[in-house]
Amino acid sequence: MITVLGAGSIGVSFAAAFADAGTSVTLADPDNERRSAADAGLIVQQEAIEMAGLSRAGTGQVSVVDHPGEQLEHSDLVIECGPEKLETKQAIFADLLAQAGKDTILATASSAITISQILPDTSQQRRCLVAHPVNPPAVLRVIELVPAPGTDPTATKSAASLFGAASFEVVQLNHEIEGFVLNRLQGAVLREAYRLINEDVTDVAGIEAIMRMGLGPRWALSGPFETAELNTPGGIKAHAARMGPAYKRIGEARGETVEWSDALVESVDTQRRKAVPAEKLADRAKWRARAVAHLVAARDKLMQY
């Protein structure tokens, strides 16, 4: 059983994803308007799940209530999706620690606030962690699990299992960091985009076109490391040797510390070779060429709407 606190877009989307996986969900929100809109929102999210080909046609039911009440005691996982305000989350977690079952995992879907900010006392962090989704989580099924210093590893493992059972790809961070991973990567792109506009290098339309027509389709299929090695014969090491000096100059001109040490590049290459052996990189590049073509065709159809 899952309890979701907050019937905004994130909370409703979470509820739809878990219900589709066959889990019973209690969706709680004290706001009358949000509760009234929840059923329609769940239908929209379920339609999106089916359109994306993710539906498992589970029989999980979603109960929409003003307060979870005794359901907190029986829930395996509580996901707090309330306002992005520290004081509000602190009050919510104080109530959860008092009312939820002693082994219930308590997660916040915060975009930036860490558990150690919400609960500074490490003794209260044992079963608490951040579960940062991508909006909408019903369709974009990746979740960042961010433990606090006092989070019990078994609690993180249990959370990973529960999200995994609902078809989420779990990315477990080793420790807290502001912005987590998604917003750090997104922030790096946005910072440079704003700089380029400020320097009159191009306009907003130019930035959008580069991302939509160039980087976006590749990144939809591969992350930055695979994209780099598929673009360069010889893989990650060759890419670092060829492009590293230019990226270093660009970064340092922005006041950033850039150091792609040999050990760091070796570590990245080792991890990539576990994912795709060197002898299969050429086949992977051929796959990406075909996949990008299909993706662009689908994108261009969607752009007509």
Question: Which strands form 25-28's sheet, in the order they lie side by side?
Answer: 62-65, 25-28, 2-5, 77-80, 105-108, 128-133, 142-147, 169-172
What does the pLDDT look like over 150-193, one tens digit per residue? Answer: 999 999 999 999 999 999 999 999 999 999 999 999 999 999 99
Q: What is the pLDDT of residue 156?
A: 97
Q: What average pLDDT does the segment 256-281 reach?
A: 93
- What is the pLDDT averaged over residues 129-151? 97
pLDDT tens track for 50-65: 999 999 988 899 999 9
Per-residue model confidence (pLDDT) at position 59? 80
Please tell me the predicted confidence (pLDDT) of residue 259.
Answer: 87
Q: Which residues contact 183 (CB under 8 A, 6 or more apart)?
A: 111, 112
The pLDDT > 90 percentage for the chain reads: 93
Q: Does the domain at residues 2-172 carry the CATH identifier 3.40.50.720?
A: yes
pLDDT in tens, 9-49: 999 999 999 999 999 999 999 999 999 999 999 999 999 99
Domain ranges, ordered by start, for the chain: 2-172, 183-302
Provide the residue type at 192 as one letter: E
pLDDT of 305 higher than 80? no
